[in-house]
């Protein structure tokens, strides 16, 4: 009897576990396409974003299903779909309609590889920018601790290591908060990029 009871409980829990599994799978594969595209600066209109949302839920969706979901005519969703295909964000597959032999059905999917590639590209660009900023910050090797003026190596040498503003002796520039922040951010991005499979 106990066994039967346990089985019942198990059977009831099964759908829950499945939903959790799906959620996990989604999380592992998850990239919020719209957020990524906004970040990359690819402004999409409201309709395109709605289409992306409907494509995100499934592997492949027929044109009819997309139109139905958005309460639109198939002809009206086609144009934005092709625009997404042109940008490489969506792809389609042609299949013969089993009911009408001479017709084709179009099944659309989100090109998640392309989108995660965009994430990588964006992060690489960001990393490059931060590295340049860091080089810029680090080029001042000396500073005047009284008036905070910073000096390049050659400038300090030319000035005999004396501040041109106040005459104080120049000292080795300290690592600034900005430098520390940049270094942390650079390290974070570098490890992220190594983790992201290309
Ligand atoms: Zn000074």
Categorize the per-residue pLDDT at 30 as very low, low, confident or very high, splitting at 50, 70 and 90. low
The mean per-residue pLDDT over the stretch 26-50 comes to 76
- pLDDT at position 59 is 87
106 lies in the same domain as 35: yes
Residue 21 forms part of a structural domain: no
Vertex 172, ends 166 and 174: CA angle to 5°? 100
Residue 83 has pLDDT above 50, yes or no: yes
DSSP string, the chain: -HHHHHHHHHHHHHHHHHHHHHHHHHHHT---HHHHHHHHT----HHHHHHHHHHHTSS-EEHHHHHHHTT--HHHHHHHHHHHHHTTSEEEEEEE-SSSTT-EEEEEEE-HHHHHHHHHHHHHHHHHHHHHHHHHHHTEEEE-TTT--EEEHHHHHHTTTB-TTT-PBPEEPPPPHHHHHHHHHHHHHHHHHHHS--
Categorize the per-residue pLDDT at 168 as very low, low, confident or very high, splitting at 50, 70 and 90. very high
Print the domain residue range for 152: 120-195
Residue 152 forms part of a structural domain: yes
Distance from residue 162's CA to the centre of ligand 1 (Å): 8
pTM of the predicted structure, to 2 decimals:
0.60
- pLDDT at position 3 is 46
144 phi-psi bin (left φ>0, alpha ψ -120 to 50, beta other): beta
Select from 85, 110, 135 the last residue of a domain: 110
User: For residue 143, with 0-12 CB atoms within 10 Å meaning exposed, 13-18 middle and 19 or more buried, which class applies?
Assistant: buried
The mean per-residue pLDDT over the stretch 127-143 comes to 94
Distance from residue 179's CA to the centre of ligand 1 (Å): 21
Residue 52 has pLDDT above 60, yes or no: yes
Q: Domains in the chain: how many in total?
A: 2
Alpha-carbon span 172 to 122, nearest angstrom: 35
Distance from residue 150's CA to the centre of ligand 1 (Å): 9
The first and second tokens of residue 195, run together, are 């983790």
Select from 110, 140, 159 the last residue of a domain: 110
Alpha-carbon span 178 to 61, nearest angstrom: 48
Alpha-carbon span 131 to 133, nearest angstrom: 5
Q: Closest Cα to residue 63, out of 50, 53, 76?
A: 76
Distance from residue 41's CA to the centre of ligand 1 (Å): 43
Digit-coded pLDDT (tens) for 58-74: 889 999 999 999 999 99
Residue 22 forms part of a structural domain: no
Highest mean pLDDT: which of 23-37, 41-55, 155-169?
155-169
Distance from residue 172's CA to the centre of ligand 1 (Å): 13
36 lies in the same domain as 83: yes
- pLDDT at position 166 is 97
- Listed residues: CB within 5 A of ion ligand 1: 144, 146-147, 163, 165-166, 168
Distance from residue 158's CA to the centre of ligand 1 (Å): 15
Residue 21 has pLDDT above 50, yes or no: no
The mean per-residue pLDDT over the stretch 67-85 comes to 94
Distance from residue 134's CA to the centre of ligand 1 (Å): 24
Distance from residue 181's CA to the centre of ligand 1 (Å): 26
**124 CB contacts (<8 Å, ≥6 apart)?**
193
Select from 89, 110, 131 the last residue of a domain: 110
Residue 15 has pLDDT above 50, yes or no: no
């Amino acid at each position: 009897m106990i066994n039967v009871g346990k089985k019942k409980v198990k059977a009831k829990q099964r759908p829950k576990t499945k939903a959790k599994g799906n959620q996990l799978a989604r999380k592992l594969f998850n990239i919020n396409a719209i957020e990524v595209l906004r970040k990359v600066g690819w402004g999409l209109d409201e309709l395109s974003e709605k289409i992306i949302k409907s494509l995100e839920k499934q592997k492949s969706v027929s044109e009819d299903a997309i139109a139905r979901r958005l309460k639109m005519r198939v002809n009206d969703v086609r144009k934005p779909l092709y625009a997404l295909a042109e940008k490489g964000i969506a792809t389609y597959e042609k299949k013969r309609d089993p009911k009408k032999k001479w017709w084709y059905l179009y099944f659309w999917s989100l090109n998640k590889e392309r989108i995660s590639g965009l994430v990588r590209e964006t992060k690489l660009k960001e990393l490059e920018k931060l590295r340049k900023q860091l080089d810029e910050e680090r080029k001042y090797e000396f500073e005047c601790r009284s008036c905070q003026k910073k000096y390049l190596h050659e400038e300090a040498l030319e000035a005999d290591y004396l501040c041109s503003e106040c005459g104080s002796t120049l000292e080795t520039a300290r690592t600034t908060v900005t430098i520390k922040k940049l270094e942390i951010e650079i390290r974070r991005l570098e490890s992220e990029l190594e983790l992201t499979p290309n």
